[in-house]
């Protein structure tokens, strides 16, 4: 059993895919799905962005 106080987020490539879906897709349904996935994983787009910036600056 894993004991960790750190929140477990999806793998970075998956998160980047959701961001791509939301920002680059020309299909509204795909844009919405990317946004929905990010919000369900992080609680808000702001928290998702904060996490991405932190991960990509490592």
Binned at pLDDT 50, 70 and 90, residue 10 comes out as very high
* Rounded-to-integer distance, Cα 31 and Cα 10, Å: 18
* Rounded-to-integer distance, Cα 6 and Cα 30, Å: 30
* Rounded-to-integer distance, Cα 25 and Cα 20, Å: 7
Per-residue pLDDT tens for 21-58? Answer: 999 999 999 999 999 999 999 999 999 999 999 998 98
CB atoms within 10 A of CB 52: 17
Domain positions in the chain are: 12-56
Q: Which two tokens stand for residue 37?
A: 């996935």
Q: Note the pTM of the prediction, 2 decimals.
A: 0.84
């Amino acid at each position: 059993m894993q004991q960790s106080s750190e929140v477990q987020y999806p793998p970075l490539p998956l998160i980047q895919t959701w961001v791509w879906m939301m920002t680059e897709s020309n299909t509204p349904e795909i844009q919405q799905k990317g946004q929905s996935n990010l919000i369900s994983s992080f609680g808000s787009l702001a928290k998702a962005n904060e996490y991405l910036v932190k991960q990509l600056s490592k």
